[in-house]
Amino acid sequence: MASGSMTVTTAEKHIGEVWPKSIIRAQEFKLVIAPRVYREWKFAGFGDVYHVSRIPNIESTTKAASTDWTPYTYTDTEQTVTINIHQVTGFRIEDITKVLANNNLEQEMKQKIGYSLGRALDVSLATLPQSFSQIVGVLGEELDYEDLLDAWLEMTNNGIDIGDDCTWVVSPAAIAGLLKLEIFISQLYQGDNPRAVQSAKVGNILGAPVIMSNLTRAPSAGQSESFLMHKKAIALIMAQEPKMVTEYQALGLHNIIGSHQIFGQAEVNRYSEAPGNITATDEYAVLLKTVG
């Protein structure tokens, strides 16, 4: 016979462990880039290289009296988009795992498949701004208001109203830098708002909405490539939207579930406004080199 109290040690066999049905799901970033690019060039059902011809503005001249005028002709170029990106993800789950699990593990993983492919698409599109020819800012340094004005001026000089289908896609660190600027936190700029610092946010700059993306490209630690773009600056052709595939294997008593997507993307170059110009450039976007 023993004396003393029952403890968690002596009563160990009476104390159970509990796994609630709740799940702590991995954090997901907002996927904001793909919905804001140009997707009007549709997949025709075949072909891996899509060609879109360009048209320049025609020149004008002053006609001299009693002299024939000369018609203008131009040798046009084309924009191509190559369908060459095939992304896939998935998992394999044994029957015994499904039977013994206390939650619907297969369904949970199916939902993560959708996020995985959506994220991969945004990451792929975010690789294109590194090739933009119009650039402001310095990698590793915060943007200042002059940088924003320079980007606005680049677009405006090319005839683009950034209030029309343009978006600033900015990294969180770059947003934090912008929130140090007086124009976003000072009551002088925020209007009749005594709590300007607490409520200030970067929601719109010079007429275009600001969208924060955690998936902008980071060339190195502490750096990011944010960008200002018109919708037509980047083209995306989805040859195949995410498609789910399943296969049951009897010998292994497991189910393989996957999904894949096929697409092409390209920075779109076009002729500038100058009549007679047939040199295509990327005037519809500006790379913002900044902190990451």
pLDDT tens per residue, range 24-67? 999 999 999 999 999 999 999 999 999 999 999 999 999 999 99
How many domains, the chain? 1
pLDDT at 104 over 50: yes
pLDDT, average across residues 266-277: 97
- Could you give the angle at the alpha carbon of 32 between the alpha carbons of 26 and 35, nearest 5°? 125
Across the chain, mean pLDDT equals: 93
5 within domain boundaries:
no
Residue 196 has pLDDT above 50, yes or no: no
Among 29, 22, 32, which residue's Cα sits nearest to residue 108? Answer: 22
Alpha-carbon distance values, 287 to 18, 148, 225 (Å)? 52, 11, 7
- Specify the pLDDT at position 203: 81
Percent of the chain with pLDDT over 90: 87
Alpha-carbon span 74 to 152, nearest angstrom:
31
The secondary structure element, H or E, covering residue 254 is strand 254-267
Mean pLDDT of 161-182: 94
What count of Cα atoms within 13 Å lies in the side-chain half-sphere of residue 260? 8
- Give residue 54's identity as a one-letter amino acid code: R
- Among 167, 107, 198, 201, smallest CA distance to 288 is for 167
**pTM score:** 0.90
For residue 23, what are the contacts with CB-CB under 8 A and spacing of at least 6? Answer: 103, 108
pLDDT at position 201 is 64
CA atoms lying within 13 Å on the CB side of residue 123:
11
Q: Which residues of 105-139 are buried (b: 16+ CB within 10 A; e: fewer)?
A: eeeeebeebeebbbbbbbbbbbebbeebebbbbee
Q: How confident is the model at residue 168 (pLDDT cuts 50, 70, 90)?
A: very high
HEC string of 112-129?
A: HHHHHHHHHHHHHHCCHH
Residue 256 belongs to a domain: yes
Question: Domain residues for 253?
Answer: 28-54+75-269+281-291
Q: Is the pLDDT of residue 193 over 60?
A: no
> Which residue matches tokens 């699990």?
101
- Residue 190 has a pLDDT of 58
| 249 inside domain | yes
pLDDT exceeds cutoff 80 at 233: yes
C-alpha to C-alpha distance for 195 and 280, rounded to whole angstroms: 48
pLDDT band, very low/low/confident/very high, at 125 (cuts 50, 70, 90): very high
Distance CA 132, CA 265 (A): 14
Mean pLDDT of 58-84: 96
pLDDT surpassing 70 at residue 188 = no
Position 19 in a domain: no
Is 65 within the bounds of a domain? no
Give me the CATH number covering residue 193. Answer: 3.90.1690
**Residue 92 placed within a domain:** yes
Q: Answer whether residue 240 is part of any domain.
A: yes
CA-based Rg of the chain, rounded to a whole angstrom? 28
CB 271 within 8 A of CB 57: yes
pLDDT tens digits, residue range 137-166?
A: 999 999 999 999 999 999 999 999 999 999
The answer as to whether 23 is a domain residue is no
